[in-house]
């Protein structure tokens, strides 16, 4: 069929293994460093926070890691997700390019996050974990882990960035409906929270600070509680590769493959899940696919950050990770793409950017919402503000094709729907959105607080 829109797979096509790019990188990832000893950390250093199953995945050099059947069984609630040709958008842009999107917004909580949340809860259940702690910004990750924990009978404690807690009450209700306990961060429950509140009782919170609280609660629980992280870590990116593996099969059905693959990056997990199986082919055969990671100009980790060792959280309680960072003291501007307001980036994404396998671009939020509205008005779907960053760049690339007459295949990851983001759409429609450009000088200033190695 030449006029096909949706390229669908059946349940038996859900991948049986996660793809681990560590096996195929030309060199090893830089080691993660213990901030006290300044030596590379080992599995035992992570044991207070994560179950051994996940720690072993974090450092695994196996090319594939089998997906346990109980996890695949839950994936079957929404996977495989559709790959869709955006024909109405193409027509509107009057471009010869073909535009495709992979729709991860069809998951129960509305984003790609359950791909790893379910896996994380499963390996914790296997290890006997009774409760998990985590942070959430806009609420996508908190909702996903709350669901995963509920399915496996684990208690879930979520520290939600205070400004989101107040602005997005429906995400909180969703988490509570799945049985999670939700606390606005900074809170009085932890040292990190109390310290922040002492300095500024009106502190609106940040992802870095909420991570500090969730980590502290798990680390001081005497092994009863473990911590769950929804992005950045190697094993999280690996869990997300079900997205790209399915996409690869779906492009076979479409009879063409992508020339350009685009995704937004907050911590880098949805982008990675989408592109890494294609990066593998690229490293092997070099087809010349361009991989473009899109970040907000308000939190430009790759395009303005420095590639060095920094903490993953604000209080400095995590190990030191080599990544492009804006500095762990980074306080983001209140852009609506809550999932993209993080100071650091996944080490795997940073490695691929540093070695020029992938590209990065930063875009401000008004053009992003313009793209979101254009997408809603052609394809009918409201994208979350985060993937709208990818849509902006996909449209820009399609318009370049219009000029040059090139018939490129452009694919982006629609990693979440925007049904909980109507406040952001409203602000855009009323002309109330501000564009923020994070200043170079602030990056230099924050570098002073980064520990010397």
- Report the nearest approach of ligand PLP to the CB of residue 144 (Å): 8
Give DSSP secondary structure letters for 188-226: TTSHHHHHHHHH-TT----HHHHHHHHHHHHHTTTTSEE
Q: How many CB atoms lie within 10 A of CB 200?
A: 9
Selected from 147, 265, 362, 409, the binder of ligand PLP by CB under 6 A is: 265
Measure the CA–CA gap between 389 and 59, rounded to whole angstroms: 31
Give DSSP secondary structure letters for 86-141: -HHHHHHHT-SSEEEEEEGGGSTTSBSTHHHHHHHHHHHHHTT--EEEEEESSSHH
Comparing CB distances to ligand PLP, the nearer of 32 and 232 is 232
CA 139 to each of CA 132, 167, 364: distance values in angstroms, whole numbers, following the listed order: 16, 11, 22
CA 352 to chain centre: 16
Site for ligand PLP in 335-374 (CB under 6 A): 339-340
Selected range binding ligand PLP among 188-196, 279-287, 380-388, 404-412, rule: CB under 6 A: 380-388
Selected from 122, 141, 159, 251, the binder of ligand PLP by CB under 6 A is: 141
Comparing CB distances to ligand PLP, the nearer of 97 and 425 is 425
Site for ligand PLP in 24-63 (CB under 6 A): none
- Report the nearest approach of ligand PLP to the CB of residue 57 (Å): 17
Nearest residue to 157 (alpha-carbon basis) of 129, 125, 181: 181
- Report the nearest approach of ligand PLP to the CB of residue 419 (Å): 11
Q: Are 295 and 265 in contact (CB under 8 A)?
A: yes
Selected from 80, 267, 327, 347, the binder of ligand PLP by CB under 6 A is: 267
Q: Are 321 and 344 in contact (CB under 8 A)?
A: yes
Measure the CA–CA gap between 25 and 204, rounded to whole angstroms: 40
Selected range binding ligand PLP among 1-9, 204-212, 267-275, 427-435, rule: CB under 6 A: 267-275
140 lies in the site for ligand PLP, by CB under 6 A? yes
Measure the CA–CA gap between 164 and 341, rounded to whole angstroms: 12
Dig out the tokens for 358 from the structure: 């992938």
268 lies in the site for ligand PLP, by CB under 6 A? yes
x-or-dash string of contact with ligand PLP, 416-435, rule CB under 6 A: x-------------------
x-or-dash string of contact with ligand PLP, 226-255, rule CB under 6 A: -----x------------------------
258 lies in the site for ligand PLP, by CB under 6 A? no
User: Which residues contact residue 322 at a Cβ distance below 8 angstroms, ignoring those fewer than 6 apart?
Assistant: 30, 32, 307, 308, 309, 347, 350
Number of residues that bind ligand PLP (CB under 6 A): 20
266 lies in the site for ligand PLP, by CB under 6 A? yes
Selected from 79, 85, 102, 113, the binder of ligand PLP by CB under 6 A is: 113
Binding region for ligand PLP (CB under 6 A)? 111, 113, 140-141, 231, 264-271, 339-340, 384, 386-387, 415-416
């Amino acid at each position: 069929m030449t006029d096909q829109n949706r390229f669908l797979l059946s349940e038996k096509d859900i991948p049986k293994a996660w793809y681990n790019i560590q096996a195929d990188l030309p060199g090893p990832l830089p080691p993660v460093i213990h901030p006290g000893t300044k030596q590379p950390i080992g599995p035992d250093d992570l044991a207070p926070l994560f179950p051994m199953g996940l720690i072993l995945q974090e450092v695994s050099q196996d090319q594939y890691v089998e997906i346990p059947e109980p996890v695949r069984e839950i994936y079957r609630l929404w996977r495989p997700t559709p790959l869709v040709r955006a024909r109405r958008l193409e027509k509107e842009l009057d471009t010869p390019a073909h535009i495709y999107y992979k729709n991860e917004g069809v998951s129960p909580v509305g984003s790609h996050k359950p791909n790893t949340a379910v896996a994380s809860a499963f390996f914790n259940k296997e290890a006997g974990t009774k409760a998990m702690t985590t942070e959430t910004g806009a609420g996508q990750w908190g909702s996903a882990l709350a669901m995963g924990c509920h399915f496996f009978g684990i208690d879930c404690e979520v520290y939600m960035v205070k400004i989101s807690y107040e602005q997005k009450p429906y995400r909180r209700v969703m988490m509570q409906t799945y049985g999670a306990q939700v606390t606005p961060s900074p809170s009085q429950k932890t040292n990190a929270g109390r310290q922040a509140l002492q300095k500024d009782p009106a502190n609106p919170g940040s992802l870095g600070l909420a991570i500090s609280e969730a980590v502290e609660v798990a680390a001081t629980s005497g092994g009863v509680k473990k911590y769950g992280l929804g992005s950045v870590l190697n094993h999280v990116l690996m869990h997300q590769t079900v997205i790209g593996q399915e996409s690869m099969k779906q492009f076979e059905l479409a009879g063409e493959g992508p020339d350009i693959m685009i995704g937004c990056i907050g911590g880098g997990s949805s982008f990675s899940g989408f592109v890494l199986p294609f990066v593998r082919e690229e490293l092997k055969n070099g087809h010349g696919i361009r991989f473009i990671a899109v970040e907000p100009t308000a939190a430009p980790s790759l395009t303005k950050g420095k590639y060095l060792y920094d903490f993953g959280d604000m209080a400095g309680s995590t190990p030191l990770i080599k990544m492009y960072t804006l500095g762990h003291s980074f306080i983001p501007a209140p852009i609506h793409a809550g999932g993209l307001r993080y100071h650091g980036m996944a080490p795997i994404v940073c490695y691929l950017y540093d070695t020029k396998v992938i590209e990065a671009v930063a875009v401000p939020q008004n053009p992003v919402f313009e793209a979101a509205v254009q997408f809603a008005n052609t394809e009918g779907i409201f994208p979350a503000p985060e993937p709208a960053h990818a849509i902006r760049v996909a449209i820009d690339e399609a318009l370049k094709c219009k000029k040059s007459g090139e018939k490129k295949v452009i694919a982006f990851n629609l990693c979440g729907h925007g049904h909980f983001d109507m406040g952001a759409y409203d602000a855009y429609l009323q002309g109330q959105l501000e564009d923020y450009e994070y200043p170079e000088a602030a990056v230099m200033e924050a570098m002073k607080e980064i520990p010397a190695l």
